[in-house]
Amino acid sequence: MPEGDTIFRAARTLNRALAGSVVTQFETVLAKLSRVEIDEGICGRTVERVVARGKWLLVHFSGGQILLTHMLMSGSWHIYRPGESWRLPRSSMRVMLATASIEAVAFNVQIAEFHTEESLRRRAGFAGLGPSLLGEDFVPEDAANRVLTIPELEVGEALLKQSVVAGIGNVFKSEICFACGVHPFRKVGSLTRREAIDLMSTAQRFLRANVRYGGMRRTTFRGNPSERLWVYKRMGESCRRCGAAIQSAKQGLDTRITFWCPQCQPLRILGAWKSTVA
C-alpha cells in the first residue's frame, strides 16, 4: 500500500500538472462518479488544487466538488500528454480527467468518490484522520500526546492508526521503531513521553526525506541501494548495526508483518528489558 510520502509526491505532481487548468474531458467506469458528471458536470470546471492528507488524495474543482481517492494496495495516478500511450491497460482505468495539455489517469483505484467540504466532514475513515505527518502544521510533541492516549495498543499498531497520525504505512512502521530503538510489540503505555516524541519526530523526518529524494524508499540514507532499509523484509538477515538476525511476526487485527532487531530493540515488560526472538 502506498504510504504518506508516495501520496504526497503524487498530489504534488498532479497539482503542478493540473492546477489552474479547465477540465476538457472526464471519464470513469464508476457509476457513482458518472452520475455526478451527468448531474453536476465536471467538464468545464477548473482544477483548483490537488492535495494529500495522509494516504488520501483530493482533487479540488471549482464550484465545490472534490474528488477523493485512496490507493489501497494497487492504485496509482499517472499523468500523460494527449495522445501518449498509457503504461497500463485501459481496463485498469477507473478515472480519467483531461485538460488541454494533460491527461491524469487513476488506475486500479479502490476508493474514488465525489464530495463537498460538508460531506467530507462526515466521511468515515477520512473525517477522523489525525494530523498529517507531512503537513506544515505537524508538531511532533502534539502528535506524541495523541499516541499516548492509546496505552493499550502495541506501538506498531499505534503507528498505523490513521486517526492518531496520518501517513505511516507498514514499511515506515518497522523502520521508525528500529531507528528509535523501540520494540514494535511494546505497549504504548510503556513509552516515556520522550520516546513518543522521538517516534513522531523520526516519522516526520523519514517521510519528509523520502518526499524530497523520491525514488526507492530509504531510511538508512546509505549510498548503496541494497542497504536502503534497516529491517523491513529482512527476516533472518543480519542487523546492519549489531549483526543479530532480524525477526518478524504478524501484528494487529490486520496481521501486517512487523520486522525488528531483537538486540537493538529490546522488549520492555513490567519495567524489565529483554531481547526477543520470535
Q: Which domain holds residue 223?
A: 140-274
Active site amino acids? 2-3, 55
Q: Which of 61, 92, 120 is the last residue of a domain?
A: 120
195 and 235 co-located in one domain: yes
CATH of the domain at 39: 3.20.190.10
95 in a domain, yes or no? yes
Query: pLDDT tens-digit profile of 219-238?
Result: 999 888 899 999 999 999 99
CA 106 to chain centre: 17
Portion of the chain with pLDDT greater than 70, in percent: 96
Q: What is the pTM of this model?
A: 0.84
Does position 170 have pLDDT exceeding 50, yes or no? yes
225 in a domain, yes or no? yes
**CB-CB contact of 17 with 100 (8 Å):** no
101 and 146 co-located in one domain: no
Does position 200 have pLDDT exceeding 60, yes or no? yes
109 and 145 co-located in one domain: no
